[in-house]
Amino acid sequence: MRKSPGSSARFISRKAKRSKKGAPLFTLDARPFEAALQQAEAVLARDTAQAKNAQSQRTRYEDLFKRGLIPRDQYETQMANATALESTLAADQAQIENAKLNLQYTHILAPISGRTGVLNVHQGDLVRANDTTPLVIINQVAPIYVTFSVPGRFLPDIRRYQTQRALRIEARIQPSGTPGAPQIAPPNPGATAVDATDGGSKIDPPSNPSPVAIEAGTVSFIDNTVDPSTGTIRMKGTFANDDHALWPGLFVQVTLVLRTDPNAIVVPSAAVQTSQAGQFVFVVKPDRTAEVRNIVVERQQGDETVVSQGLQPGEEVVTDGQLRLTAGARVSTGTRGENAGEGGGARGNDTGGRRGGGRRSGNRENQS
């Protein structure tokens, strides 16, 4: 945003609010620029009169030179003076345009639609051209852009799927009640502040944390290089953000969806074990005994692992206590262990299991 040199500013709207493109924001003292414009117009009028006189002189001198009454050098001098005055008129017109432009800058309009922030100047402050401090910062909120990075090893897959369709991304906003999550909104009216023993203060977290908000967008930018220091590639997603759930500077968890596997077989990652022969799981057979089953893992996403070979939908796998479990050992249902008992888990020899290992997911997504 350009600022006219040596002018005092006046902010039209003092409260942070939404502003549309072209809406007035500031007005500067226009009197010096109005005077500069009038001076430039006066100079143009003076030079115009002189140019007209020089044009008349050139016509007379040309006639006298053709009749041989004046020398050539006198004629050429008059021609040069007339040409120079014509160029002076062009320079004067440029000065007028520059003065009009400076006068136009005394009315500062919003260059984009967005939300205005904290004022850096107030009424009567002196602003200068090319100053490093902006008058006010406008952040675009709708649409909004989210920058994130993904491991560089996913770049071939990203480029392949991008040629097929627009890549979908999801931004998850942590609820305000999540431990360790930044506070993204003021506490609810039921929150109370009490004095702490060390002289500080604390705010009671809300009893019912708000659910995780999910916003959907598309990938709009992929950087042209992989950062060699981190091995990641920077990307940018565009979100419509009509409800203004996303806010400039807010940290969000971004999920990039590459493809959807409608018939993927998924097991908890805790069920997958590793041996010299490869990866395996303990499968609970119908007679409630454990069976060692070698599997082929396609990929892992969070706490779940996608299995491409070795399991069938609906089979039950053990998720806890595998070190104390052997092939053929009896497995009984129990709730011991952190992951045991969820959804009818299985446990044998103090092991915990989980039914649903080898389940077929109805809409499994390949994410990064």
> Phi, psi at residue 28, to the nearest 5°?
-105, 160
Q: Is residue 173 within 8 Å of 215, Cβ to Cβ?
A: yes
pLDDT tens-digit map of 246-302? 989 889 999 898 888 888 899 999 999 998 889 999 999 988 889 999 999 988 877
pLDDT: is 183 or 278 the higher one?
278
pTM for the whole thing? 0.57
With a cut of 80, say whether residue 183 has pLDDT above it.
Answer: no
With a cut of 60, say whether residue 203 has pLDDT above it.
Answer: no
With a cut of 50, say whether residue 237 has pLDDT above it.
Answer: yes
pLDDT tens-digit map of 339-368? 433 333 333 344 445 444 444 443 444 444
Distance CA 175, CA 180 (A): 10
Q: What is the pLDDT of residue 16?
A: 53
How much is the average pLDDT of 42-49? Answer: 92
- Domain ranges for the chain: 7-136, 144-185+206-260, 265-367
How much is the average pLDDT of 153-166? Answer: 90
How much is the average pLDDT of 325-350? Answer: 55
Listed in sequence order, the DSSP H helices in 105-231 are: 155-162
How much is the average pLDDT of 326-338? Answer: 69
CB atoms within 10 A of CB 17: 9
Q: What percent of the chain has pLDDT over 70?
A: 76
Strand ranges in 132-185 using DSSP code E only, listed in sequence order: 138-139, 144-151, 168-173
* Choice among 158-162, 203-207, 341-345 with the minimum mean pLDDT: 341-345
How many residues in the chain?
368
How much is the average pLDDT of 113-134? Answer: 82
Tokens in use for 282? 């303990």
How much is the average pLDDT of 22-39? Answer: 89
With a cut of 90, say whether residue 95 has pLDDT above it.
Answer: yes
With a cut of 70, say whether residue 197 has pLDDT above it.
Answer: no
Amino acid at site 135: L
Q: Is residue 165 within 8 Å of 257, Cβ to Cβ?
A: no
Q: What is the pLDDT of residue 194?
A: 36
With a cut of 60, say whether residue 234 has pLDDT above it.
Answer: yes
Domain 265-367 has CATH 2.40.420.20: yes
- What topology does CATH give the domain 144-185+206-260? Elongation Factor Tu (Ef-tu); domain 3 (2.40.30)
Q: Classify residue 297 as left (phi > 0), alpha (psi -120 to 50) or beta.
A: beta
With a cut of 90, say whether residue 336 has pLDDT above it.
Answer: no
Distance CA 299, CA 151 (A): 15
